[in-house]
Amino acid sequence: ETGVTQSPTHLIKTRGQQVTLRCSSQSGHNTVSWYQQALGQGPQFIFQYYREEENGRGNFPPRFSGLQFPNYSSELNVNALELDDSALYLCASRDGINYGYTFGSGTRLTVV
Amino acid sequence: GIQVEQSPPDLILQEGANSTLRCNFSDSVNNLQWFHQNPWGQLINLFYIPSGTKQNGRLSATTVATERYSLLYISSSQTTDSGVYFCAVNTPGNQFYFGTGTSLTVIP
């Protein structure tokens, strides 16, 4: 079903490092959002971008930041990685407010 | 923030049985979706249903926005229905909150 692709699929980083996760959305999907899902938990909303501007944010610190590009791709950047940042990171996009989100398969980040 | 509670948290069914999953939310929302998360973590969109009733094969969903709840019905369950079911709501403040999830196991 999904036209949303994420890379890489798995990643191991060291505490204190920085990481960039990438997402490529379906053409025409102007809204993209990112989520963190810890093991055994539901996904937690990080932020949402609409036409390259952040227009919604969850309860995450500023070291979680993002970018959305005109070609429907986006990035999630996390600085100063902590052990608790180990999780599955999901990207989702949609075509307008009256449509549902389509999710990618996620990037599994392990911080050691 | 908005609270999104799902019940039951865990459900074990015999293959062929029917079930109803419930999602309650504490405030007004712009829309609501139901997802099935498979064992590999992929979230599959089942329904986009801000209000009313929709059906897709053995699955159907009803959202009563004025009473702040949604129901997902699974009929004639199959082992492939196993996994975690989430509802998620979009708030007027452009935030997207997932529910607590229902873990479904269908046994042959």
Q: What is the mean pLDDT of residues B19-36?
A: 95
Structure tokens at B87: 């509802």
Per residue in A39-52, pLDDT (tens digit) is 989 999 999 999 99
pLDDT-derived band at A1 (thresholds 50, 70, 90) equals very low
Beta carbons of B35 and A103 less than 8 Å apart: yes
Which of B33, B35, B95 has its CB closest to that of A58? B95
Structure tokens at B86: 């989430």
Please tell me the least confidently modeled range out of A91-95, B31-35, B87-91, B92-96: B92-96
Tell me the residue type at A23. C
Ordered DSSP codes for chain B: ---EEEE-SEEEEETT--EEEEEEESS--SEEEEEEE-TT-PEEEEEE-SSEEEEETTEEEEEEGGGTEEEEEE-S--GGG-EEEEEEEE-TTS-EEE---EEEEEE-
Which of A50, A59, A102 has its CB closest to that of B45? A102
What CA–CA distance (Å, rounded) separates A107 from A109?
6
